[in-house]
Structure 1
Amino acid sequence: MNALVTEEKIPLAHDLASTSPRAEDGGRRLGFLLTLPAQILVLFIAVFPLLMQLYISLTDWSPLDGVSWWQAYGSWNSFANYTDLMGDTRFWNALGRTALVMAICVPAEFLLGLGLAILFMDDFAGKRVFYSIMLIPMMVVPAVAGYMFFMLFQSGGPINDILSTLTGQPITLAWLSNPTTAMIAVMIADIWQWTPLMFLILLAGLVGVPEDQVKAATLLGASWWQRFRTIVLPKMKTIIIIALAIRVIENFKIFDTLYIMTGGGPGVATETISVYIYKVTQNDLIWGYVAAIALVILIVLSIVVSLAISRMNRKEA
């Protein structure tokens, strides 16, 4: 009989106090104080440099002026840098080349990475060894990769030797001296180095797909493509968006490998936006104009990230 009797728990005074509005306000204040050092750090690391860059972009300041950046108000020009930027054909051409690299390299890296990720979902002999080999390119320092591909694409380099063997005719193509082939060489280097990153991200997404749903679809007679299209892809959409967003942002920043391979040449044939900013910064020393360029690129990348995040939120909702 006693086993059927339940005791009613009487709330204690400290339990009631812990849920009172005063206690909640105290908890919020404590949380704010605990996170205050991190907020101040973020302010100096992110917000302060951004405001400094905005300030400099509204001036004609250069380190050759002999004054510090905070005294740049003496060369105030309002929005003249942004007006000049809109009519700068070299800037727009560099932005177009960056978009071209992004439009070719990102889909190629995605398709290759996805294919390899699907392949590595199955067990086969030497899987761990091949997995380790697959990750080597992304571990190579971009400057080293640039020098390596610079040597590969020389007129007397291994690439021409392989093509000569395959065609049976001597080929001495100067890849990096031709505007078209130089851009192709840069894209090949980028795809080689960053396909492993796409492979790693997509493989993590494939591992997270529920096996029971795939097995159930198999028992119901669904083909591989039907299972992939209706089950695997929907489950991976968030991972895919993240992977594509990362590579789009990184392609906007492509510099090390490209600059060592071509220096942006021949002429300006492979001059992307990062190389253009570097040249204007180092050669012309027009830092106010460079700050304006950087802010415009920041806005473009912020829009890309915002679209990716909103798309992920729609998929999750």
Structure 2
Amino acid sequence: MTVATVETQLAAVEHEDARDSRKLGFWLTLPAQLLVLFIAVFPILMQVYISLTDWSPLEGIDWWQAHELWNTFANYTDLMEDDRFWSALGRTALVMAICVPCEFLLGLGLAILFVDNFPGRRFLYSVLLVPMMVVPAVAGYMFFMLFQSGGPVNDLLSLFTGSPVRIAWLSDPNLALFAVIVSDIWQWTPLMFLILLAGLVGVPEDQLRAATLLGASWTTRFFTIVLPRMKTIIIIALAIRVIENFKVFDNFYIMTGGGPGVATETISIYIYKVTQQELIWGYVAAVALVILITLSVVSAYAIKRMSQSRELNQ
């Protein structure tokens, strides 16, 4: 028997063993896979089903009998003509367009400051992460108290201006939106800082040293070495915050309840009100599906960009 024949036989045995291992792994994990599939797929299928009906808890029938109130795509047609829905969606997009860039720039600036060691770094690092650890509902209550007419914000402004300031922050439509945006930036900038700091730490030191020896300025090193190496991390950070901004609810609802009027009514608050107060569950299911598809598209785009960035850096 030749050496080549022996090697061929060994390769065949190894291939057979690998195939048996894959089969065994598949059957061992099958129950868990089915459970995860059920948990993920069943609610979506149920939501699609309900969205095609006029069913609500007030109808006196169970959800699986919702076909008796079948309306095909009427809920989706109503959604396209619902000015309040589009207003809430536009307001959510506005909050996202302000919060995400601010959180990114502040987080990046802090990450650049903290990438090097300095006295008190660990203490300040811990302090900066505190807002992220606060429960969003608690953060909402904190800022609700801060922005009261007789609260600390007006007291601080009175101190600077030398005259009493009694701005009704949460009663004015424009100022209320500003207040809730400030609360979101305060709470989630630390998350952006943490992600971007991890990206900065991962930039190869040897490349930065070589560029420094060649006379490259800090700006040149940052834009030609650091940022390209951080592209994947930046996409991850932005994608997380864009998706989370679509779901913002706790602090906004506690601070203003979506008011005054609908001035701070984001898409999450809108869905909550329609679900709990108006009980139009079939319509809410249609709205939720549209939001789910939108966020799925954003996630898919972010994953595609991350894959492209990874291929370019390899």
TM-score by length of 1: 0.94
Q: Structure 2 CA distance, aligned partners of 1:12 and 1:177?
A: 80
- 1:94 aligns with one of 88, 91, 100: 88
Aligned to 1:118: 112
SS in structure 1 at match of 2:165: coil
Cα drift, residue 304 of structure 1? 0.6
Q: Deviations 1:233-288 (Å, cap 9, x if unpaired)?
A: 00000000000000001000000000000000000000000000000001110100
Give the match's secondary structure for 1:170. coil
Structure 1 counterpart of 2:287 = 293
Deviates more, 1:303-312 or 1:87-96: 303-312
Single out whichever of 189-198 and 68-77 deviates more from structure 2. Answer: 68-77
Task: Quote the Cα distance in structure 2 between the aligned partners of 1:18 and 1:157.
Answer: 76
Q: Does 1:169 align with 2:185?
A: no
Q: Provide the residue aligned with 1:19 in structure 2.
A: 14
The residue aligned with 1:55 is 49
Identity of aligned residues (%): 73
Give 2:147's aligned amino acid: F
Give the whole-Å Cα distance in 2 for the aligned partners of 1:171 and 1:16. 82
The residue aligned with 1:221 is 215
Distance 2:201 2:238 in 1: 18
Map 1:72-111 → 2, pairs under 5 A:
72-111=66-105
Residues 197-250 of structure 1: CA distance to partner in whole angstroms, max 9, x if unpaired? 000000000010000000100111111010000000000000000000000010
Between the aligned partners of 2:148 and 2:165, the Cα distance in structure 1 is: 11
State the aligned residue count.
309
Q: Deviations over 1:26-62 (max 9, x none)?
A: 3332232122122112212111111110000000010
**2:172: which partner in 1?**
178
Distance 1:26 1:78, change over 3 A: same
Q: CA deviation at 1:292?
A: 0.3
Report the Cα offset of residue 141 of structure 1: 0.4
Runs of 4+ in 1 over 2 A off after TM superposition: 8-20, 22-29
CA distance in 1, matches of 2:239, 2:8: 52
Cα displacement (A) at 1:25: 4.2
In structure 1, give the amino acid aligned to 2:82. D
Name the counterpart of 1:3.
none
- Read off the aligned partner of 1:39 and give its amino acid letter: Q
1:33/1:223 Cα in 2 relative to 1: closer, same or farther (>3 Å)?
same
RMSD: 1.6
Picking from 152, 159, 162, the partner of 1:158 is: 152
**Consecutive unaligned residues in structure 1, runs of 5 or more:** 1-7
Q: CA deviation at 1:17?
A: 4.9
Quote the Cα distance in structure 2 between the aligned partners of 1:229 and 1:261: 40
Which of 69, 75, 78 is 2:63 aligned to? 69
Structure 1 letter corresponding to 2:102: A
Shift of 1:93: 0.2
Q: 2: distance between equivalents of 1:47 and 1:83?
A: 25
Of 193, 214, 217 in structure 1, the residue corresponding to residue 187 of structure 2 is: 193
Measured in 2, the distance between the counterparts of 1:17 and 1:67 equals 61
- The equivalent of 1:29 in structure 2 is 23
Q: Which one-letter code corresponds to 1:172 in the other structure?
A: R
SS where residue 176 of structure 1 aligns? coil
Unpaired runs of at least 5, structure 2: none
Q: CA deviation at 1:112?
A: 0.4
